[in-house]
A and B are shown apart, each in its own frame.
Chain A
Amino acid sequence: MALDNEAKPEAMHGSTPISKAPRNQVLLALRLVAFFATAAATVVMALNKQTKTMVVATIGSTPIKATLSAKFQHTPAFVYFVIANGMASLHNLLMIVVEIWGDKFDYKGLRLVIIAILDMMTVALASGGDGAATFMAELGKNGNSHARWNKICDKFGSFCDHGSGAIISSFAGLLLLVIITAMSIGRLAKPRPATLSPV
């Protein structure tokens, strides 16, 4: 009897239904790419720093220089961005490890459910981090004339560039994470209840 890739009926194997192998590989590949995307976003934003010496005022004929720096820690939105993306990449790593090596462990069939729930939580976290960082970056880029907030991107160009790169990478990771979550939830529904075994 040839071993099929389809999910076998429950009667033959006992407790855990086998998920389809090709499906698993796509999921694994997606998780890997998402891990790289979120890890890259975390690292780029965490190392985001720019120091610049600027002329602040002129007294007489001597310009007064001040060293101003732009760091990601200055803005709580970016701090949260780093934390959220860090947690998202850790989650992806954990899930990859679980998928490759954790096939033996199952607790009352709850494994897929726990994976799906954790995926959802990570999506919520990462989406929050992305949204906050995007609008903060937009504020830095365009300023807000109504609130008299000046833009800072013209002075700290490379800080803004690195930040936008990190945000774009994080968006890619978030998109992949949403697809992964949808697939994880879809995997839950796959094994139809075997109300009748083919006896």
Chain B
Amino acid sequence: MITSRSDHRPLKAREDSMAKAKISLVLRLLAVGSTAAAIGIMVTSHATAKVLNLSFDARYNNTPAFVYFVVAEAVAGGYSLVSLFLSSKSLFWRAVMMMDVVIAMLPSSSIFATVAIGRVGKKGNNHAGWLPICGQVPKFCDRVIGALIVGFVAAAIYLVLLLCSLHSLFALKP
């Protein structure tokens, strides 16, 4: 019974798996890059405005949703960085695949949370008596929207990564 990990597969299968490994590596690099960009944009968003007597100081710290966005992207990016060093042939590949599922959830949920709070900031909420603030601090709003777009790209990359590892799993079936 063959239980070793030596490769007895035909040449094409080996080449395919090497190509998949390269694609997965590139994707992980992209994921790290995009999460780093999203964090950078969100963290440097900061604007002050003085309206009448009220001074608005808008930072990403003020809203827990934006803080969660930064934290979630940081965790996901850190995990991608670590998983870059664990190639698909090591013992951890099964654990990496399981963790991929959990980690892919983080950027996606943080984006939705930021969108929800951002929408209140942009359009307000009449029923709760919450006024929109984007009129007063347009630069902050633009920055947040930029961070969101990059975050969307990052979440999409994570999901594609998940599909990729799924594909490599599925390819083991004859």
Contacts and interface: CB of A to CB of B under 8 A. Distances in A.
Interface in B111-126: 111-113, 115-117, 119-121, 125-126
Given A120-B159, A185-B101, A188-B170, A131 B62 contact: no
Interface stretch (B14-22, B37-45, B83-91, B129-137): B129-137
Contacts of A186: 94, 98
Interface residues on A, range: 35 or more
Contact of B104 (A116, A124, A135): A124
Contacts of B126: 74
A131 B2 contact: no
B157 interface: no
B8 interface: yes
Nearest to B158: A124
A180 to B, nearest CB: 10
A117 B166 contact: yes
Contacts, number: 139
Contacts of A135: 64-65, 68, 113, 116-117
Contacts of B104: 120, 123-124
Contact of B58 (A123, A140, A146): A146
A179 B133 CA distance: 40
B97 interface: yes
A195 B8 contact: yes
Nearest to B126: A74
Contacts of B54: 148
Interface size on B, as a range, is 35 or more
Interface in B36-65: 54, 56-59, 62-65
A91 B106 CA distance: 21
Contacts of A75: 116, 125, 128
Nearest to A143: B130
Given A70-B127, A136-B117, A189-B172, A178 B108 contact: no
Interface of B: 1-2, 8-9, 54, 56-59, 62-65, 68, 94, 97-98, 101-102, 104-106, 108-113, 115-117, 119-121, 125-131, 133, 155, 159, 162-163, 166, 169-170, 172-174
